[in-house]
Structure 1
Amino acid sequence: MNYPQVYAVTPSSPINLVGKMGQAVQISIHPPSEYISANRDRIFPDWQHQPQFWVVIVLQRSRYPLVKSSREIEQEKQLLREKFMRFGCDLAFNLKDRGYLADLVDPRTGYPLFSRPGEIPHNDTAVVKALLNYPVLKNKCCVLVHPTWGTAVYPSVFISTAPPVMLELAIKSVALMHGWEEIEQEVLVNQF
């Protein structure tokens, strides 16, 4: 007889990483927010029959506060989006090779990359606010306020049916491929 596997639903401790150029990255694993759970079929229609999936929050520290818009800030956002998209694609394929569903949400559009788009886009900032309780500044777009990085933070979201332990192993493995090494929390505060 097959019994469903049960996993803890408490948020994980963040995985703190730093890139070769000193850029800080924080990654954490969570059950879906109440909003995602209630609107799963409208946001992720291909995932509505999955009994359990996890939300991976990827926060990259920006070189600039992301409150205003300028050519440099827009270029920085594009660079951080590209880093996330490369990382997320590699993580998705790594997990799919292990038999798990996985997808990443394009931070620009709010729609999943590998799944069918839903009626409404996903809102990365709202999810981070709901799951991490970080404040949000309402500007032209909503901007997160990280406890140590302030508004110099770029949020992204990844989803998967892989259990948290498997997600953490895959994240750390793929992060190394992208030049992101794990560091202690105290060191993270001082990283660009």
Structure 2
Amino acid sequence: DFSLLTFMAQRKTKQSNVVVGPCPIKNGTEVSVCRCPKQFLREIRHIFPGLDIDESLLALPTAQHSVMDLVNVGDDVESEKDRCLIQFMELGKSLCLEIQARGHWADYIDPCSGLPMMTPDCNKVYSEVDGMQMLLQYQVMNAGPCKVLLHPRWGGAVYPATMFTNAPEDVVLEL
């Protein structure tokens, strides 16, 4: 089993909003724990209307290393995106339920629709690419009308997805 606490001391970053920055968990997936900058919080309040969201909100952006560059097109790329989606949905649901069992709010974003999975009546879309760019300062490139995330080591072979929680940092780091 993996604990973020294990990597906390060695993975502290210079970015003030990043509590713990990219730590491998399993199956080629990295997770970070980030405090949300004020301009980011304004967007998140629209994504989760009705929730009391303040500076204590944590974002848990994840990056899965895909077996191919996801900028490409084709059946094999679509199959890889589906594999990554299923893997994240299982992780997101599991971690959010564990956080909720500890008495805190948590939700994860469906990377396909950009909508929250556990909070009802949300219809504002969250952009995973914009989120990773703002939270972790990852680079992006334009591919036609779309922005594509570029992981610092994997380039376009990355599948980003994010969870959010109001749990204290120590609770999240114990997971």
Flag the structure with larger Rg. 1
CA contact under 8 A between 1:92 and 1:102: conserved in structure 2?
yes
- AA aligned to 2:22 is P
2:76 & 2:96 partners in 1: Cα distance? Answer: 30
**1:67 CA drift (Å):** 1.1
Q: Which runs of 5+ in 2 are unaligned?
A: 1-15
Higher relative CO (Cα under 8 Å, sequence separation at least 6) belongs to 1
- 2:170 is aligned, of 153, 165, 168, to 165
Report the residue type matching 2:24 in the other structure.
Answer: N
- In structure 1, the gaps of 5 or more residues are 1-8, 171-192
Q: CA RMSD in A?
A: 1.6
Q: 1:142 and 2:142 equivalent?
A: no
Q: Give 1:109's aligned residue.
A: 113
Would you identify which runs of 4 or more consecutive aligned residues in structure 1 move more than 4 Å?
none
Q: How many residues get paired?
A: 157
Q: Where does residue 50 of structure 1 map in the other structure?
A: 53
Superposition TM-score, scaled by structure 2 size: 0.83
Residues 26 and 17 of structure 1: is their aligned pair in 2 closer, same or farther, counting only changes over 3 Å? same
**Could you say what secondary structure the match of 1:38 adopts?**
helix
- Paired with 1:64 and 1:34, the residues of 2 have a C-alpha distance of 35
Q: Report percent identity of matched pairs.
A: 26
Separation in 2 of the partners of 1:78 and 1:33? 31
Decide which structure has greater strand share.
Answer: 2
Deviation at 1:110, TM superposition (A): 0.6
